[in-house]
Amino acid sequence: MLEATAFWVEMPGVGALRHEPLPQPGDGDVLVRTLYTGISRGTEVSVFGGHVPESERERMRAPFQQGDFPGPVKYGYLNVGVVERGPEFLVGQIVFTLFPHQSAFVVPANAVVPVPDGIPARRAVLAGAVETAINVLWDSAPVVGDRVSVVGAGMIGCCVARILRGIPGVEVTLLDVNPARRAVADQLGVDFANIADAPRGRDIVINTSGSDAGLQVALETVVTEGEVIEASWYGDRPVTLMLGADFHSRRLTIRSSQVGAVATRRRANRTTRERLELALHLLKDPAFDALLTADSSWRDLPDVMAGLADGSRDDLCHTINWGEPE
């Protein structure tokens, strides 16, 4: 019998590794042996802490999630592995799958997306973050010459900033309260500013900080009649904003953005698979390696997740190496 090791949130704040049997692959299925998984810090820390609101528990389900919120639940969606069994054209291919943290798994062949040649397997775990960034930019629709600020130099904010940099004439500033993020901004080729020094009069401001303070800064620094794209997800945390002062007189707009559905501007002519394929194509850019700030053995995953949740770790993208024998 095939067997795998998987990470489960047993209850809020408690993670554990479980051994579980795998089904035999059927016709049209693939058996994938995981090489790396990535931790999507904002969402997965919220899941680990039990902060998924009851109203969102169905919408928040990952494609191959097992269990239910708040736990026990097997959650995650940044998985890169190699196909060991399945259709001949896929065997031996490195693939990205929206699958949780698990050493091996069986899914339908159409659930995996081949990683293009030349992209290291570890970098490919960022496909989910780049896919989110693509949707954010489809929602915000920047044009040549725009002045854009991205509030929050986390994994999503950094992906948004790097892609924006490729639009001719666009001035990109990454904002964060952590001055150490300046080094990452330098590697991404974009400007950096502390929140206190945030430039004003920005054509678009995108908030990825996961904080109401970040969203407030976005409102204060966007142009009159401008639009703020809110790409953070707050789980069950309340958000407080100052919507007095000049919010109404400047006729400001807050637009939400999330990755669950293709952005309205592209929904008629792009599928979710095409969006993910585009994300993988963009990962040919080696600058994205700046986001891969830590790597640990799968054996350490429960401790790593707990460290991210309690703030003792400050990683952009922490990858989990499944290459060690079980």
Closest of 129, 176, 137, 191 to residue 156, by C-alpha: 129
- Residue intervals of the chain classified under CATH 3.40.50.720 are 133-256
Quickly state the pLDDT bin for 78 (edges 50, 70, 90). very high
Q: Which residues of 183-192 are buried (b: 16+ CB within 10 A; e: fewer)?
A: ebbebbebbb
The arrangement of secondary structure in 133-256, i.e. its CATH architecture, is 3-Layer(aba) Sandwich (3.40)
Q: Residue 293: pLDDT above 60?
A: yes
The arrangement of secondary structure in 3-126+283-321, i.e. its CATH architecture, is Alpha-Beta Complex (3.90)
Q: Residue 326: pLDDT above 60?
A: no
**Helical pair 41-48 and 301-310, crossing angle rounded to 10 deg:** 100
* Spatial contact of 199 and 149, defined as CB atoms under 8 Å apart: yes
Q: DSSP character for 239?
A: -
Structure tokens at 258: 């999330």
> Is this prediction's pTM over 0.85?
yes
- Residue intervals of the chain classified under CATH 3.90.180.10 are 3-126+283-321
* Spatial contact of 62 and 75, defined as CB atoms under 8 Å apart: yes
Quickly state the pLDDT bin for 194 (edges 50, 70, 90). very high
- Number of separate helices (H) and strands (E) present in the chain: 8, 17
Quickly state the pLDDT bin for 195 (edges 50, 70, 90). very high
- What is the average per-residue pLDDT within 209-226? 96
89-126: pLDDT as tens digits = 999 999 999 999 999 999 999 999 999 999 999 999 99
Rounded-to-integer distance, Cα 89 and Cα 91, Å: 6
15-30: pLDDT as tens digits = 999 999 999 999 999 9
Average pLDDT score, the chain: 96
Q: Residue 40: pLDDT above 80?
A: yes
Quickly state the pLDDT bin for 210 (edges 50, 70, 90). very high
Quickly state the pLDDT bin for 1 (edges 50, 70, 90). low
Which value, in Å, is the radius of gyration of the alpha carbons in the chain? 20
Q: Residue 325: pLDDT above 70?
A: no
pLDDT at 182: 97
Q: Is the dihedral of CA 294, 211, 40, 181 positive or negative?
A: negative
Does the bond joining 286 to the residue before it have cis omega, within 30 degrees of 0? no
Q: Percentage helix, strand, coil, to 5, in the chain? A: 30, 30, 40
pLDDT at 97: 98
- What is the average per-residue pLDDT within 236-264? 92
Quickly state the pLDDT bin for 236 (edges 50, 70, 90). confident
